[in-house]
Amino acid sequence: MEDSSHPTVASKACAPPAEPRQSKVRKVLRILLIVLVILPVLVLIGLWSALAIHFSNLPSQGFRTALAWVFVLGFGTAFAFINNRRRTALYLMAAFGIVLALWLMKLPSHDRDWDPFVAVLPSATIAGDLVTVRNIRNFEYRTAEDFTPRYYDKIFDLREIRTVDFIMAYWGPGEAITHTMLSFGFNGGEYLTVSVEIRPERGEPYTALGGLFKKYELIHILGDERDLIRLRTNFRNERVYLYPTRSPPEDVRTLFLDIIGRINEIAANPEFYNTLAQNCFTSLAPSIRKIRPPRPFDIRLLLNGYIDRMGYENGWIDSDDSFEVTRKRHHINQYVEGKPYAPNFSQLIRPHLANR
């Protein structure tokens, strides 16, 4: 009798051949490539394209939003129900190419119906040591939203420039993000403040995502401290810190002229604001690096709510006390609380710097 416990030669011949180990490895690697690389890239491309459409300059916000959803849902459905996913991916790349081309063709402009806060661009001319600054903002506020727009021109003598103060204004409860400004001090107690901001159109709300997709133009506002700082301390009730810096007058002059150069560049050729690369601090950073040695990348350059600690650590902020004591002393709201209309505002916010 034949022993059935042992396979016959015929049964061995009929068995399917074992899959080579090398083929199994290639299959696993292909799956990993699809899951870890191709699919995330396609998802990012689809998400970027949808956001670029949503924040584009196509007519009607409702139409842009609907078109963005059509883009996302259309490709999601295609990948779910069309077997030929390679062809679907090629279609997605082609659509992405069209959206990218249109995004690259979107150009900044000075000709829009601007929000009153940013309606007027500053500029300056330089003649030797004299800098004539035009359109210095000096609004007269009754509330944060009720104001009379005012601008003036002024000639500054570079031989009289002495100090630059670093300003941080926290508009929300968190500490990670703040608005930064610089204020230049001249002999005689005169100050000129620069604030890099978005330039929205009238009624246009701010979104950080929109700032990544060419939603807003960029503006460097030159203003009186009674406008740019007082607005934040006394009318918007933001937490504001003003730090003196260890910058000799020749460095302050270099910094001031570099910023004036950028202001004139933007007046001649509009630029887009960018939430990361061209914001209130990163726009000023290249000018600051002209007087401070470059340092390795620090995440606080993006989470700029902690930039004062970085400035303290690298010695730019002028203080011999601990950071905690320094920060408490330079929290200037305490010096002007209940004094929104004081004429000597710049002196009130510097009682601890009276000997400067």
Q: Is the four-CA dihedral 257, 258, 259, 265 of positive or negative sign? A: positive
- Take residue 122 and report the two structure tokens written for it: 């500053």
pLDDT at 348 over 60: yes
Question: Residue 16 has what pLDDT?
Answer: 57
Say how many C-beta atoms besides its own lie within 10 A of residue 138's C-beta. 15
Question: Residue 91 has what pLDDT?
Answer: 81
- Take residue 213 and report the two structure tokens written for it: 């997709």
Q: How far apart are CA 134 and CA 67, in angstroms?
A: 43
Question: Residue 12 has what pLDDT?
Answer: 52
**What are the φ and ψ backbone dihedral angles of 221, each rounded to 5 degrees?**
-85, 130
Span 295-335, pLDDT tens digits: 788 888 889 999 999 999 999 999 999 999 999 999 999 99
pLDDT at 84 over 90: no
* Residue spans of alpha helices (H) in 106-152: none
- Take residue 75 and report the two structure tokens written for it: 């490709």
pLDDT at 90 over 90: no
Longest Cα separation, the chain: 119
Mean pLDDT (whole number) for 245-249: 96
Span 3-22, pLDDT tens digits: 555 555 545 555 555 556 77
Say how many C-beta atoms besides its own lie within 10 A of residue 219's C-beta. 26
Q: How far apart are CA 140 and CA 148, in angstroms?
A: 5
Share of the chain above pLDDT 90, in %: 70
Name which of 202, 184, 200 is nearest 192 in CA terms. Answer: 184
